[in-house]
Amino acid sequence: MANRLACHVAGLPLPNPVMPASGTFDYHPDVRTPVDVARLGALIPKSITLHPQPGNPPSRLAETPAGLINSIGIPSPGLAAFQDKFRSVYGGVPCPLVISVAGYSPDEYAQLTQACSRWPEVVAIELNLSCPNLKTHLMPAQDPILLRDAVQAARAATVKPLWAKLSPNVTTIAPMAAIAHDAGADAVVAINTIRAMAINIERQKAILGHFTGGLSGPAILPIGLSMVWDIAQHTSVPVIGCGGIRTVDDALMYLMAGASAVQVGTATFAHPAAMMDIINGLDRYLADQGIAQIADIIGIAKPA
């Protein structure tokens, strides 16, 4: 891919700004997929927890007219099991590797961050502070003190870049981004899914086994876009845009709103090659517009 797609997230160089959202795409060296992993800006596997956990009870998915509600709940083998298989699975990943970790206390975030930072293949740690369908009702990304404490603990445990994944389920997101940045996050990811619910009217029951989950997909794109813009306008923290991205146009909107990079999630379930299409489309757009570097379009959106 042409060098014009090369970008930086808080000083971390990436070959391009397109990567999967954690939990929506993984790497299996012996499995062929429509995605050429070597062309991704980065790879982010599903969040790892300190201890094994099964995730939420079924049903875990509910389709909506413009998106998907998931209540997966971060099923995880735990850190020890993940460490055992790390070399065989991720040792040869042909793109930058970012590990997502999810803790239930600042100490757990610190332990996970420290352990995952030992691998030279890992270029950054993403702190999942905002999953809306876990057993706890209050997420660190919803409370300023919990957010600060979790990020500070992780920051003290590593010298590698830290990305804090924020929640849209707050009154205003820019102050939370500023808190994460001040606590030591090098960048923030915005947004995670929006708390949502679906009901089967014939059975008169909630469709999801956990009752509520997180809405993703096209319905949340305008919300994610506005929150990225808010963060870019009111803070100095670099932001990675996420939420509802399906096409190159969607990715371009996030970049023009101020995102340094983007994450693609639900779109890959319906169209596995979505990230490849977006990478190719970004390159074509820059070439057609005569733009030398992807950095030249970041934050250029203006009022109508």
Q: Has 302 been labeled as part of a binding site?
A: no
Residue of 7, 95, 116, 131 with catalytic role: 131
Find out whether 266 is annotated in a ligand binding site.
Answer: yes
Active site residue 131: yes
Report the amino acid identity of residue 158.
T
DSSP state of 244: S
265 appears as a binding residue in the annotation: yes
- Token couple for 1: 């891919």
Cα–Cα distance list, 257 to 17, 99, 219 (Å) = 14, 26, 18
Whether the CB-CB separation of 130 and 93 falls below 8 Å is answered with no
Residue 74 counted as an annotated binding residue: yes
Residue ranges in the chain assigned as alpha helix (H): 79-90, 106-116, 144-155, 174-183, 221-234, 248-257, 267-270, 274-289
217 labelled binding-site residue: yes
* 71 marked ligand binding residue: yes
Q: Is 70 annotated as a binding residue?
A: yes
Residue 243 annotated as part of some ligand binding site: yes
Cβ neighbours of 193 (radius 10 Å): 29
> Can you tell me the distance from the alpha carbon of 141 to that of 123, in angstroms, rounded to the nearest whole number?
23
192 is in an annotated binding site: yes
Which residues are marked as active site? 131
Q: From the annotation, which residues make up the binding site for FMN?
A: 22, 46-47, 128, 165, 191, 217, 243-244, 265-266
Q: From the annotation, which residues make up the binding site?
A: 22, 46-47, 70-74, 128, 165, 191-193, 217, 243-244, 265-266
Q: From the annotation, which residues make up the binding site for substrate?
A: 46, 70-74, 128, 192-193
